[in-house]
Amino acid sequence: MKVIRTIRELREELWIQRSHGQRLSLVPTMGYFHEGHLSLMDLAREKSDFVVVSLYVNPTQFGPNEDLACYPRDFIRDERLARERGTDVLFYPDNQEIYPDSFCTYVVPEKLANVLCGRSRPTHFRGVTTIVAKLFNIVQPDLAVFGRKDAQQAIIIKRMVSDLNFPIEIVVAPIVRESDGLAMSSRNTYLSPAERQQAPVIFQALTKAVELVQKGERRSAFIEKKISQMIVTADLARIEYIQVVSEKDLQPVEKVEPGTFMAVAVWFGKTRLIDNLELMTM
């Protein structure tokens, strides 16, 4: 595995790979790898000949009072894990490489970015689409892999690819969970032992929602109420949103049906956790 820090060097390397007819994939990440990230690398490996993983803590997707400065970082460990997982290139640029002082052009998603996480993080998705569009132009992969953990992000990226005609296949990988159901996230390291102990309530509640649907319940409002009652039994949990939404446009739906899913954001102390689950399969 090569660690490459500049766009120029990366382009030279990829030009060679492309000229040998290699199918290229990209896995964009902010590092501090866990099994969720590694599963994306595995999927990229399976579906392509040459895997590029980018590791960049993208400042434009953090709000002014968010955790950019303390976001967990461990390059040495990440490098080892990516290598062990068969990554070909780890692209690890610095801020000047990505956002030189003259930088002033953004990709701004509209409707899909104003709901769910976009309500409390109004500039977040503009930062995500901007960095992902830049990475797509830098790497020009045949396919890119994202995690379902960030369902809204994956949906916005797919929309961007379609709206802006990027010739890139978007693959969405399933959520990888801890053995107690908590969705893996680099931010789980912020949780205190007491918060960590209570955090699995999110997945337990989502599982309960599936059970309700399996028993015939379809009313979103009723399910959302039940789920919220269950989550607040954890005294450290503070709900930001619980919503059944349409996969197509992320708008709330009155009835659970194929093509809808439940999305939640819950705070434990200073840590904001998100999760989601399809309540009914297609």
Residue ranges in contact with ligand AMP by CB under 6 A? 29-30, 36-37, 39-40, 146-147, 149-150, 173, 175-176, 183-186
Q: 273 vs 96, 163, 185, CA distance in Å? A: 30, 29, 8
Considering the complex, what minimum distance in angstroms separates the CB of residue 170 from ligand AMP? 10
Identify the H or E element spanning 26: strand 24-29
d(CA 193, CA 195): 6
Considering the complex, what minimum distance in angstroms separates the CB of residue 152 from ligand AMP? 10
Considering the complex, what minimum distance in angstroms separates the CB of residue 102 from ligand AMP? 26
Q: Are 174 and 276 in contact (CB under 8 A)?
A: no
Other beta carbons within 10 angstroms of residue 80's beta carbon come to 13
Nearer Cβ to ligand AMP, position 155 or 242? 155
Q: Are 275 and 202 in contact (CB under 8 A)?
A: yes
Which of 20, 34, 37, 124 is catalytic? The answer is 37
241: left (phi over 0), alpha (psi -120 to 50) or beta: beta
Considering the complex, what minimum distance in angstroms separates the CB of residue 153 from ligand AMP? 6
DSSP classification of residue 179: T
**Active-site residue flag, 20:** no
Nearer Cβ to ligand AMP, position 274 or 279? 274
Report which residue's Cβ sits closest to ligand AMP: 147
Nearer Cβ to ligand AMP, position 185 or 260? 185
Active-site residues: which are they?
37
